[in-house]
Chain A
Amino acid sequence: MSNIQRIGNTFRRTILQAIPTVIGIIVINFFLLQLAPGDAADVLAGESGSATMETVAALRARFGLDQPVLLQLVAYLDNLAHLSLGYSPRYNLPVADIIGQRLPGTVALMATALVIALAGGIALGIVMATFAGRWPDRLISIVVTLFYSIPGFWIGLMLILLFSVKLGWLPSGGAATIGADVSGFDLLIDRARYMVLPALSLSLFYIAIYSRLARAAMLEAQAQDYVRTAAAKGLSPLTITVRHVLRNALLPVTTVAGMHFGGLLGGAVVVETVYSWPGLGRLAFEAVMSRDFSVLLGILLLSSLLVIVANMTVDLVQAWLDPRIEAR
């Protein structure tokens, strides 16, 4: 079986498994949210300060919140079947529009954080494995243990303190310079400047995990017989590490990285709040506080899709990395 064919098989299998997963996630989330006390009408009424029982009832009727729960679910599923995520009573906008505004920011942040975490983690892991037991290994080991144990928001605040307040190198929050009229490469630089600190604080925890994992995987791969074969071929230590050890050592790291994608989204809530980053994490938090369930359901659906896509990507990457993994 060729490589393409093999990867194609893996792809098809994953898609088929994804459909029931998504439906299950929608239904469970829907009922879960019903358990929360209060609804959007309560919050709106509370905020207006002078709502009568009649206005609240009218609000409920308008949003369909007075319907039985099962009917609401059917209505929601009906909406989804028509590719609509529903309507937000609070923002007075279609949910798809609200999420659409926030999605690129969060995806960009998560992707950057994941890339930093993988690149940094694997690089540190290689250094640690190369110097296993000697001082570079020990030193990095201490540093990543710190990364692992310090909470993300504190790291975020400290990074702001150092790079924004003391050194003034990077902006302390937001996603772009307000009112800046830039385009092309300058735009990219502007965005990158705002991205550095949040992405870094989000990724440090994962750098810690991936570096330890990569270190262990490298050491294990180094002890394999095929590494001795490579040495007997006369290859240089660098070639052996890159060509023979690293690729085998990447397998466990990609598995774990895929599983972390959901956690990364959770961590984004904190980091987006610290850096006032206009992303989904903060939107979700606000939606919970205002009982804006249609927005929240939309976000949950989308994040479950993101996690599924991430897992699918891991499956594909693994099928590509390791020929022994085949469609079952």
Chain B
Amino acid sequence: MTPLLDVRDLTICFPNATPVRNLSFGLAPAEALAIVGESGSGKSLTALALMRLLPGAARIASGRVRLDNDDLLALPEVEMRSRRGRDIAMIFQEPMTSLNPVLTIGRQIAEVLQLHRGLTKAQARREAAELLDLVRIPNPERCLDDHPHRLSGGMRQRVMIAIAAACRPKILIADEPTTALDVTIQAQVLELLDRLRRELSLSLLLITHDLGLVGQWADRVIVMYAGRKVEEASPGILFERPLHPYTRGLLAASPRLHDRLHYRSARLAEIPGNIASAATQAGCPFAPRCPDRLARCRTNVPDERDAASGRRVACHVDLTESSRGLHHDAALSY
């Protein structure tokens, strides 16, 4: 099946750094794809690049982002503007500051309806109330005239989702949508996103650093490290048998309920070093921190290749599943 969104060789540059390098992935209709990685891995920049909303100094050096046979990166700005919010919508990490404090909720939702769907003010207001109902905000009529400061963080994120879903976009990008929320609210918001995905059959691109979310809410996971994709698999397989040394490290470093090695009884595993060490690498960016590195890891960047059970991985090490997994049974109980 041809993907709805096809990203090829996306490279993002700052004047003195390249935070995303040759990233390729596809997103099928109604699929939920998660991009996970630690801070600085380039996942948020990737999301912003898809919207062409990169901050001032950042620039898309090369790549293609195909949506509906159009290369989004090649569209004129005016044309791109008409796609934002209509075909491809985005919600952000900080619900507390992502809404304009001086405008009513109703106005902020109606705005996008009037812009892309040409509704009148009255129609947009009615539709906005329905959207608030869709994202399960109690008393939607009253909420329309409220200002954002009267709403809790979880409610504001629901409003953000209502705005994003207003024009029934094909793709919804959620950049760390629950990071600023507390745990019970997190689950509600993700459940809402998942329900909308099914009801509106939109594709969801979930950007997160929280591996715990991925297993439950994503169909497929891309693990990024220092601007590169290191592994791509379905979450079940990834958690059961992580291939890439970085993925294995990440999973080993996650505290889990059924672990023998609970952080109360033993130290939590860690990946030695930090992501800054990737900047100076000629070869694999993870090489300085990798427990399994070979001589050529220092000099050659590993290509992405197919591995068993429909997964892709970028690593020089011989990653047969039998040789992995066994001594990493810590990951099994995920």
What is the number of contacts between chain A and chain B, taking CB atoms within 8 Å?
Answer: 71
Contact A234 B97 (CB under 8 A): no
| A226-B99, A322-B101 known; A235-B160 Cβ under 8 A | no
- A58 adjacent to chain B (CB < 8 Å): no
**With A228-B92, A233-B112 already in contact, 16 other A-B pairs whose C-beta atoms are closer than 8 Å:** A226-B97, A226-B99, A226-B101, A228-B98, A229-B99, A229-B160, A232-B53, A232-B85, A232-B92, A234-B84, A234-B116, A243-B111, A248-B101, A248-B102, A323-B101, A324-B149
Question: Which chain B residues border A235 with CB–CB below 8 Å?
Answer: 81, 85, 111, 115
- A236 adjacent to chain B (CB < 8 Å): yes
Contact B163 A323 (CB under 8 A): no
Contact B101 A228 (CB under 8 A): no
Give B85 Cβ to nearest chain A Cβ, in Å: 4
Give A110 Cβ to nearest chain B Cβ, in Å: 28
Question: Which chain B residues border A323 with CB–CB below 8 Å?
Answer: 101-102, 104, 147, 149
Question: Which chain A residues border B84 with CB–CB below 8 Å?
Answer: 231-234
Considering only residues 67-93 of chain B, those with a C-beta below 8 Å from chain A are 81-86, 89-90, 92
CA distance A322 to B85 in the complex (A): 26
Contact A225 B149 (CB under 8 A): no
Contact B147 A324 (CB under 8 A): yes
Give A268 Cβ to nearest chain B Cβ, in Å: 33
CA distance A114 to B162 in the complex (A): 42
Which of A224, A234, A324 sits near B81, CB closer than 8 Å?
Answer: A234
Question: Which chain A residues border B53 with CB–CB below 8 Å?
Answer: 228, 231-232
Chain B residue nearest to A231 (CB atoms) is B53
| Interface residues on chain A, size class | 20 to 34
Q: Mark B89-121, 1 if CB is under 8 A from A, else 0.
A: 110101001111111100000011001100000
- A60 adjacent to chain B (CB < 8 Å): no
Question: Which chain A residues border B115 with CB–CB below 8 Å?
Answer: 233-235
- A138 adjacent to chain B (CB < 8 Å): no
Question: Which chain B residues border A15 with CB–CB below 8 Å?
Answer: none
CA distance A233 to B53 in the complex (A): 11
Q: Mark A212-246, 1 if CB is under 8 A from B, else 0.
A: 00000000000011101111111110000001100
- B51 adjacent to chain A (CB < 8 Å): yes
Considering only residues 8-55 of chain B, those with a C-beta below 8 Å from chain A are 51, 53
Question: Which chain A residues border B164 with CB–CB below 8 Å?
Answer: 232
Give A220 Cβ to nearest chain B Cβ, in Å: 13
- A321 adjacent to chain B (CB < 8 Å): yes
